């Protein structure tokens, strides 16, 4: 076993220590499963609040959606995959977008187009969705995104830890520390995030100034990311 | 540039939210797309790693384990990976040559491992690679090297040869035990009368012959001492074939080591010519000469350029004529085709006496493939030609111990 950069080669006859010590390899999928389940719960909460439920409940047994969605991470875990996979995250976000449609210009534009051929249906959809314009799902979506980012950081550090141990590198408590740091930092950002995006200046600044500040921030972000 | 997995995941998440947000003209989704990107802005803080102590024990010979212990201290913040670079043909037997730690403030790092060198050579173990990255495993990876003054000289274990076979055939006796040397201390056996040369001892002047010839004549005696041995070690590129640890060249070096040890221990002059590198060592006796040969063999690797055996013979002809040694060719005969060189070498002696020449042909047993069979046929053909020229040839299948092969030659002679 060896570290990637190393040149050491394990003796052919020696006992190869492929037994990876880290308990994090068991913990990582369990943590991700929990995070996925919580995210799934939040997503379903948003879904049940959305106006789409009014239409869908007429045709489908919506209450069955709960166990179905919550069982997906368990199935992924049984299949030895990341319980909070990208596909599951996409699905949860799409499930939560019902409320976003009620404020989407694109959605209303498509209703206008629909109105030309099916005026009754378009009017019905408009009446259903326009009633939910005031509902905000930013909090729920933020929860889902936070949980997903945390799960990805947990998963990547566990994978890296396994890779290092498989190569014979001694990495005492490294992964656990990384998890701790990931949790603390993501949680802090999660707490501060709503304040940053609801922040408003007490003084009215001219639009040109805001534009210049925005362009400056964009260039600064591009510079930082290119490092 | 390779994108790190952490970076890729965060960018992908952000892009998905941004694109969906733009499609749905949703402020919430666009705002959330910034969330994953924030983690990419986390910088990699500098971490200072300093070597405190270092120690290396053992590992003088191939196969002998050695122990390395390096203590370091790290100050800063981030994930630090430290690795002591070891050569490719060193096998880790215990511990690890790399450690990783999450450093907050300061931490002690210790590399403790045991390894086994599998190839001879002089190795510098003076590099410790330090990698520093941020705790999210995103962003830039800082890599640098620290110097540690550690080095190791790994010698090949010399196989003890009990006895080397006596040549039977046209060449009567190549073994130097029974031969006389061209240079050395004059003995009591009379050889000839010749003209006086400045420096000749006065006691050797033959007064009667001088009076008769009217010029100073001296008696020439056969010199006592051991005859020289000259080894042609083939280091041409084709010797590289085989495994990294055990290949034709390593076997040839082992044979050279063994023969040098055997003959220098018995007081013979041993010289060496490395074919391919065009390098040679003058024949000399004793432990010091063996040490010189070993030093040369530790460094040598198969050459990139080709040199034929004939060229090698021509390059060392002057020395061969002077010392009239027992000549060993250690080579792969199917590639080097040393027949011409062998015949020329056997004619080094004057007065019609054939110089003792011996070829140690390296081979690998087994192999049913077409190429193995073809190489085997070539070798058999060359073997027959060399033997028919009256030159002793020892076929050494590298899997077998050399001492056993050479002893077998004695027993069956």
The pTM is what? Answer: 0.66
Q: Which of A71-85, B156-170, B286-300 is predicted most confidently? A: A71-85
Residues of B in contact with A137 (CB under 8 A): 28
Query: Region A128-146: what's the mean pLDDT?
Result: 85
Tell me how many residue pairs between chain A and chain B have CB atoms under 8 A apart: 169
Determine the pLDDT at residue A74: 94
CA distance linking residue A203 with residue B287, whole number of Å? 93
Q: What Å distances lie between residue A143 and A39, A100, B236, B307, CA to CA?
A: 7, 16, 68, 73
CA distance linking residue B14 with residue B37, whole number of Å? 7
In degrees and rounded to multiples of 5, residue B406 shows phi and psi of -70, -35
Report the phi/psi class of residue B60: left, alpha or beta, with left for phi > 0 and alpha for psi in -120 to 50: alpha
Asked if A39 is an interface residue toward chain B (Cβ–Cβ < 8 A), one would say no
- pLDDT beyond 80 at B165: no
Determine the pLDDT at residue B237: 92
Q: At how many degrees (to 10) do helices A24-49 and A65-78 cross?
A: 160
The 8-class DSSP code of residue B159 comes to P
In a mutagenesis test of the A interface, which of B27, B93, B102 is the best target, namely the one with the most A β-carbons within 10 Å?
B102
The rounded mean pLDDT for chain B is 83
pLDDT digits (tens, 9 = 90+) for B324-340: 888 999 999 989 899 88
Q: What angle do CA B388, B393, B396 make, to 5 degrees?
A: 140
Share of chain A above pLDDT 90, in %: 28
B227-406 to CATH, choices 3.40.50.410, 1.10.10.60, 2.60.40.10, 2.40.40.20:
3.40.50.410
Number of Cβ within 10 Å of residue B338's Cβ equals: 30
CA distance linking residue B338 with residue B359, whole number of Å? 9
Residue ranges per structural domain of chain B: 5-40, 48-154, 227-406
pLDDT digits (tens, 9 = 90+) for B223-234: 555 668 899 999
Judge whether B25 and A106 are in contact, CB under 8 Å: yes
Choose the closest CB to B136 out of A142, A167, A182: A182
Q: Which of B93-97, B162-166, B363-367 is predicted most confidently? A: B93-97
B48-154 to CATH, choices 3.40.50.880, 1.10.3210.10, 3.40.50.1100, 2.60.120.570:
2.60.120.570
DSSP state letters, A159-207: HHHHHHHHTT-B-TTHHHHHHHHHHHHHHHHHHHHHHHHT---SSPPPH
Q: What angle do CA B110, B113, B118 make, to 5 degrees?
A: 150
* Cα pseudo-dihedral A110, A116, A117, A121, rounded to 10: 60
Are B23 and A106 inside 8 Å of each other by CB? Answer: yes
Provide the shortest C-alpha distance from residue A121 to chain B (in Å): 21
DSSP state letters, A26-91: HHHHHHHHHHHHHHHHHHHHHHHHSTHHHHHHHHS-GGGHHHHHHHHHHHHHHTTS-SS-HHHHHH
CA distance linking residue B275 with residue B272, whole number of Å? 9
Determine the pLDDT at residue B408: 64
pLDDT digits (tens, 9 = 90+) for B38-75: 888 888 888 899 999 999 988 778 888 899 999 999 99
Asked if A177 is an interface residue toward chain B (Cβ–Cβ < 8 A), one would say yes
- pLDDT beyond 50 at B381: yes
Is residue A6 very low, low, confident or very high in pLDDT (cuts 50, 70, 90)? very low
């Amino acid at each position: 076993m060896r570290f990637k950069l190393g040149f050491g080669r394990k003796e052919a006859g020696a006992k190869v220590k492929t037994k990876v010590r880290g308990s994090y390899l068991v913990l990582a999928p369990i943590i991700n499963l929990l995070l996925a389940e919580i995210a799934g719960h939040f997503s379903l909460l948003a879904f049940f609040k959305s106006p789409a439920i009014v239409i869908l409940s007429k045709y489908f047994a919506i209450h069955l959606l709960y166990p179905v969605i919550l069982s997906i991470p368990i199935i992924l875990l049984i299949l030895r995959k990341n319980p909070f996979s990208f596909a599951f995250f996409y699905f949860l976000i799409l499930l939560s977008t019902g409320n976003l449609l009620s404020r989407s210009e694109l959605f209303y534009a498509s209703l206008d187009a629909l109105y030309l051929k099916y005026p009754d249906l378009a009017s019905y959809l408009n009446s259903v969705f326009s009633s939910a314009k005031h509902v905000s799902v930013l909090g729920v979506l933020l929860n889902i995104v936070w949980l997903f980012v945390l799960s990805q950081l947990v998963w990547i550090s566990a994978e890296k830890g396994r890779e290092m141990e498989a190569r014979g590198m001694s990495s005492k408590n490294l992964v656990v520390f990384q998890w701790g740091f990931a949790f603390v930092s993501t949680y802090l950002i999660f707490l501060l995030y709503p304040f940053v995006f609801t922040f408003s200046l007490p003084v009215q600044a001219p639009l040109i100034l805001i534009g210049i500040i925005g362009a400056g921030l964009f260039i600064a972000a591009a510079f930082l990311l290119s490092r | 540039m390779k994108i790190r997995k952490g970076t890729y995941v965060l960018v992908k998440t952000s892009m998905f939210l941004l694109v969906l947000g733009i499609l749905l003209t949703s402020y919430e989704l666009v705002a959330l797309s910034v969330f994953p990107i924030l983690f990419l802005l986390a910088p990699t803080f500098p971490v200072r790693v300093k070597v405190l102590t270092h120690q290396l024990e053992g590992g003088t010979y191939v196969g002998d384990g050695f122990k390395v212990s390096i203590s370091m201290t790290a100050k800063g913040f981030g994930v630090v990976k430290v690795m002591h670079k070891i050569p490719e043909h060193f096998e880790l037997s215990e511990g690890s040559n790399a450690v990783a730690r999450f450093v907050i403030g300061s931490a002690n790092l210790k590399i403790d491992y045991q390894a086994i060198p599998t190839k001879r050579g002089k190795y510098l173990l003076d590099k410790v690679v330090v990698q520093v990255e941020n705790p999210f495993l995103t962003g830039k990876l800082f890599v640098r090297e620290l110097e540690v003054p550690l080095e190791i000289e790994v010698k090949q274990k010399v196989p003890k040869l009990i006895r080397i076979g006596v040549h039977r055939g046209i060449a009567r006796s190549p073994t130097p035990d029974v031969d006389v040397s061209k240079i050395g201390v004059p003995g009591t056996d009379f050889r000839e009368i010749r003209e006086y040369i400045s420096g000749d001892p006065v006691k050797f002047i033959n007064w009667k012959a001088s009076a008769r010839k009217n010029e100073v004549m001296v008696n020439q005696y056969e010199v006592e001492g051991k005859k020289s041995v000259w080894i042609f070690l083939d280091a041409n590129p084709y010797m590289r074939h085989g495994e990294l640890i055990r290949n034709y060249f390593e076997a040839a070096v082992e044979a050279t080591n063994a023969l040098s040890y055997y003959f220098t221990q018995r007081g013979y002059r041993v010289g060496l010519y490395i074919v391919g590198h065009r390098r040679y060592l003058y024949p000399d006796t004793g432990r010091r000469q063996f040490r010189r040969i070993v030093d040369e063999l530790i460094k040598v690797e198969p050459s990139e350029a080709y040199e034929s055996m004939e060229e090698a013979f021509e390059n060392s002809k002057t020395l061969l004529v002077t010392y009239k040694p027992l000549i060993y060719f250690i080579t792969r005969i199917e590639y080097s085709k040393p027949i011409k060189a062998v015949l020329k070498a056997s004619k080094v002696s004057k007065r019609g006496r054939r110089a003792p020449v011996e070829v140690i042909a390296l081979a690998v047993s087994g192999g049913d493939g077409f190429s193995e069979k073809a190489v085997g046929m070539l070798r058999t053909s060359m073997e027959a030609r060399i033997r028919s020229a009256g030159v002793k040839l020892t076929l050494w299948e590298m899997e077998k111990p050399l001492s056993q092969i050479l002893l077998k030659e004695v027993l069956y002679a």
